[in-house]
A = this chain, B = another copy of it.
């Protein structure tokens, strides 16, 4: 059996002990697990951002990885706790939409409600289900406990979703928006490569953002140093970038900025 992997997305940050406590709970149940941080810097309570971070990363992990997503403003309330299997991966977290990005791309084969006390802490804090409910459930799954054992099945239509802003497909262009700014100042949009490919049909394309019109290229080095361009990044989304510089700083733009993609005139 391969070594189990448990990967974490939370809004806990790294200043407090919360992530460490979750890992302690995991290793108490499944000591051989490799526990990997995807990010803990999701803005507090920002379910959509947590969903996007998980969706950007999960397919880079091997099959069987258990993902725990804890962005959970409703912790301790009556909101459900769930686990799911999708695309050969397992997912554990609150039922608040934090798995929307995954489920949009990879329809889940089975979702269960975490209803069985024997796969949680004996004493569940009303403010830290990450430690007392989600970490133990993920660790038990990593040891090989079948998903169905954790609770009754739930149909997908009963599960919360956070709608992601969809691009607007015109006849001759695509309207999109910036949904994330990364550490390098790349402006990541909601326009996926397959939507783009259908419009471009291999023609040269441009993207308008702010007052600028920039070419769509294959990599940063295709434009001069400091120049802005569009390209498809590592998750196959269009991003507005700059060669060896921050597009966000150069353009003075961030999340919510609009882009329009169309064929270059020519």
Cβ contact within 8 Å between B19 and A37: yes
Interface flag for A143 (CB, 8 Å): no
Max chain B CB contacts within 10 Å: which of A54, A78, A234? A234
Q: How far is the CB of A70 from chain B (nearest CB, A)?
A: 12
Complex CA gap A116/B39 in Å reads 31
Cβ contact within 8 Å between A219 and B24: no
Chain B residue contacts of A35, Cβ below 8 A: 34, 36
- Specify the chain B residue showing the minimal Cβ separation from A29: B62
Chain B residue contacts of A36, Cβ below 8 A: 20, 23-24, 27, 35
Q: So how many copies of this chain end up in the complex?
A: 3
| Secondary structure type dominating chain A contacts | loop
Minimum-distance CB pairs A-B, first 8: A76-B219, A128-B234, A20-B38, A77-B221, A24-B61, A13-B183, A28-B62, A126-B219
Binding site for B on A (CB under 8 A): 2-3, 5, 7, 11-25, 27-28, 31-32, 34-41, 44-45, 53-54, 56-57, 60-62, 65, 73-78, 125-128, 131-132, 182-185, 218-221, 231, 233-234, 239, 241, 244, 246
